[in-house]
Amino acid sequence: MKTLGPETISKLTIAPLFDFMASVQGTHNLGNDVTLRDTDHDAIRQAMDGYLSKFRIRTGEDESFITYLSPHERDEFKNALLCLEHHFEAPDHLGESEERSKGEIQKIMAAIRVVKPTLAKPGLILRWENRDGTWELAGFNKVGFDIYTAREEDLEPFDAADLAILLKMMPRVYDAYSTHGGERFNRVANALNFFEMGYRLFVVDVRFVIFTTSLESLFVTSDRRMGYQFRERISRFLTSEPLERQHLHDTCREIYKIRSAIVHGGAVPGGVEVLHESMLLLQDIGRRCLQRILQDDLTFSRFQTGAMELGGFLSQIP
């Protein structure tokens, strides 16, 4: 590994955002020393080939790589259209900086998935950038799971309008996470974590419960009549239009029935087909709720209050 010194700057780069179209160009500051930028493909390919060549061995007539990145994963890194970068000066304790960078990147990934579905994996490329602007790879840190959308959500381009939503949300995302962890609890950060976790799991019924839990952590404030709180408060929170509200109310009722059947061992009404269809609706509802909370200061502040006060606010929505 390259020796750290004053002549280098170290960066952790996350990639790939490989399902996004390159409709967002340039470099965009997301706060906390994290930027979203279009990817320099040539630089990534050159640096990756140089890094992987260190692990190339010859076996007979064939070459193989001693690396834990599969060919498919290497292609994803090389062909990413967008990437997230966390910038930091070369540290004394690299391990601590890596953990901090993972945390900062994870916040962004959770927020991006609230804006639009993505297959992006939270794998990290550790790289060194020299003072002359050239850089090289120092290693990979591959998280041991993939991100699944199964047969559910259609992936769409991440465009300028999506970037505007992300930028508007980020100050409140950071606020939420700043008061979450250890003995501190922030229900918005908690909901973001569950929403993000739903994309890390493969088993569809467990994913369904996790996505439902994300919404429960926002709208269920007591252990009495939990299903009623879930459907009544979400439908009132998202719309005041009577027909749409009734439709949301009925949808949330069915979602909670499915959740209860999975958790308590009953048969899922309608079977696998209904489960997949309801998953789409569940993810859309979760995304709409989190976007509304994270784009408005007053609404966000309501969800920073205690359970009793928040429950009173949600119950009083006309």
192 vs 101, higher pLDDT? 192
What confidence score (pLDDT) does residue 60 get? 43
What confidence score (pLDDT) does residue 104 get? 83
Residue 153 has pLDDT above 70, yes or no: no
What confidence score (pLDDT) does residue 221 get? 94
What confidence score (pLDDT) does residue 262 get? 92
3 state DSSP class of 86: strand
Residue 3 has pLDDT above 50, yes or no: no
What confidence score (pLDDT) does residue 278 get? 93
Q: Do the beta carbons of residue 200 and residue 147 sit within 8 Å?
A: yes
Residue 167 has pLDDT above 80, yes or no: yes
Mean pLDDT, residues 85-97: 63
3 state DSSP class of 26: coil
What's the 3-state SS for 222-277?
CCCCHHHHHHHHHHHHHCCCHHHHHHHHHHHHHHHHHHHHHHHCCCCCCHHHHHHH
What confidence score (pLDDT) does residue 116 get? 84
Average pLDDT of every residue of the chain? 78
Q: Is 265 left (phi over 0), alpha (psi -120 to 50) or beta?
A: left
Which amino acid would we find at residue 116? K
Mean pLDDT, residues 235-248: 96
282 vs 268, higher pLDDT? 282
Mean pLDDT, residues 172-181: 94
User: 44-48, 186-190, 243-247: which range is least confident on average?
Assistant: 44-48
What confidence score (pLDDT) does residue 286 get? 97
Residue 287 has pLDDT above 90, yes or no: yes
What confidence score (pLDDT) does residue 148 get? 42
Which of 57-71, 74-88, 189-203 reaches the highest mean pLDDT?
189-203
Residue 146 has pLDDT above 50, yes or no: no
Mean pLDDT, residues 184-194: 95
Q: Half-sphere exposure of 155 toward its Cβ, with a 13 Å CA cutoff?
A: 15
What confidence score (pLDDT) does residue 24 get? 77
